[in-house]
């Protein structure tokens, strides 16, 4: 089993709609989590950090389910600029080494 699994998508979302997708992780010792967004041919950029049960930042909400070992990301009122690949990253290494998921592609359409 992979350490981090994500549905590659693409999730095609009409502008203004809500989209949610999950990420499952295998290491139950993971204490903190990160969501990164990566635009086409660009570097990943940190979107959100999750240190407890969840986090909310504007239109973005992350929820952590430790019992089932998954973390979700929800995007409300989707904008065209939200089109990107979203990478799930559980932090399992006490020295800060991160294991990246392969990402979920989101395409917001007019």
Partner 1 sequence: DVKVTQSSRYLVKRTGEKVFLECVQDMDHENMFWYRQDPGLGLRLIYFSYDVKMKEKGDIPEGYSVSREKKERFSLILESASTNQTSMYLCASSWTETGYTFGSGTRLTVV
- Between the alpha carbon of residue 39 and those of residues 44, 47, 87, the distances in Å are 7, 12, 11
Q: Is the dihedral of CA 86, 3, 62, 13 positive or negative?
A: positive
Pick the closer one to partner 1 by CB: 36 or 75. 36
Shortest reach from residue 53's CB to partner 1, in Å: 18
**Residue 103 touches partner 1, criterion: CB under 8 A:** yes
| C-alpha to C-alpha distance for 25 and 110, rounded to whole angstroms | 33
**Residue 95 touches partner 1, criterion: CB under 8 A:** yes
**Residue 89 touches partner 1, criterion: CB under 8 A:** yes
Shortest reach from residue 95's CB to partner 1, in Å: 6
């Amino acid at each position: 089993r992979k350490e981090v699994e994500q549905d590659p998508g693409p999730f095609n979302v009409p502008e203004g709609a809500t989209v949610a997708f999950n990420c499952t992780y295998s290491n139950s010792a993971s204490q903190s989590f990160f969501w990164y967004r990566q635009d086409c041919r660009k570097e990943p950029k940190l979107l959100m950090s999750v240190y407890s049960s969840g986090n909310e930042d504007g239109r973005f909400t992350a929820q952590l389910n430790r019992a089932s070992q998954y973390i979700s990301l929800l995007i409300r009122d989707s904008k065209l600029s939200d089109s990107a690949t979203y990478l799930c990253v559980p932090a399992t290494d006490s020295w800060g080494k991160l294991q990246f998921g392969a990402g979920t592609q989101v395409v917001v359409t007019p």
